[in-house]
Amino acid sequence: MNSMLVIGGGSWGTAFADYLSRRSKDVRLWAREEEVLAAIRTLRENRVFLPGIELSPELGVSADLEDAVGRAGVLVLAVPSKFMRSMLRRLQPLLREDHVLICLSKGFESESLKTMSQVAAEVFGPGVSRQWLTLSGPSFARELAQGHPTAVAVAAENEELLGRIQEELSSLTLRVYRSGDLRGLEVAGSLKNVMAIASGMISGLGYGFNTTASMVTRANLEISRLGVRLGARPETFWGLAGIGDLMLTCFGSLSRNFQLGRRIALGESLQAVENSTPMVAEGVETTRAIQRLAANLAVEMPITREVHRVLFEGKSVVEAVGDLMKRSLKSEWTSS
């Protein structure tokens, strides 16, 4: 396996770097937080973003991005989506044609309404598609770090690269499936965070599995409706990156987006929840972006609309659920 650099010391970046390091000794982690690097270097633990997990003794850390990029053949991008463009701009003068870029980030850029691969094409030029892969699927960072068997999908336009990375990343812990639907993986991975906020709100109101399962089913139709409009394949939304990741984040309390929604339903403000943790809930920015994108494309997305109204327009969670239940009656397979 090529030398690898994971860029981003959050929970997912740290867990993925640890996983890679246990398969190959030549793996380094770059993070902007010096306290994260110091703790990993001395204690073998990321106490800020992944506490309680003992990291591989072979995992290296670096505070020098330029040096670390120069040494690596594979760059794993694990920064929050709202910081992706600025990070790619830092990497632009350092990027080589032989670099492989694996994106772990899930989200749309809220201003441009672009996916991460589209942002990369703007920064690096369209030729970067030969180097770019996106990995997505039902994968809590803590569970991967604990060695729980996990399956994900990886998508790219470069089929030769896709097959090679699938082989290099797969193990008895992580099973990787190939996908040719890059756009579908990006849409599914991004929008499931919005729906996880909705699921957390349902939990915060004290509703049970009837409500959550109903919401998840309708959410997947809503996500696929937008995805197909953007050129994705319908079957992607019934796979690991689609319904798999959606179920994980909507039924699993480890999800940051789920917890954010739950706390808001229990009475906290969005600002208070975000200020209480250094971790980023990607669904907040994605909700803002998707609300605009759906309006621009005239795609009906009622769950996303209600989450947006709660987060940014002061609507109560109780009212939002009530308004979803009062929508006009229709066939289950209607386009809206």
C-alpha to C-alpha distances, 10 to 140, 168, 250, 318, nearest whole angstrom: 12, 23, 21, 33
pTM of the model: 0.95
| CA-wise closest residue to 102 among 174, 46, 195, 197 | 174
pLDDT of residue 334: 76
Domains annotated for the chain, with CATH where assigned, are: 4-180 (3.40.50.720), 189-325 (1.10.1040.10)
Low-confidence stretches of the chain (pLDDT beneath 70): 1, 335-336
DSSP notation for 201-213: HHHHTT--HHHHH
pLDDT of residue 1: 57
Rounded distance between C-alpha atoms, residue 275 and residue 306, angstroms? 23
pLDDT one-digit tens code per residue, 95-111 = 999 999 999 999 999 89
The yes-or-no answer on residue 330 being catalytic is no
| CA-wise closest residue to 227 among 217, 238, 216 | 238
Which residue of the set 114, 192, 315, 330 is catalytic?
192
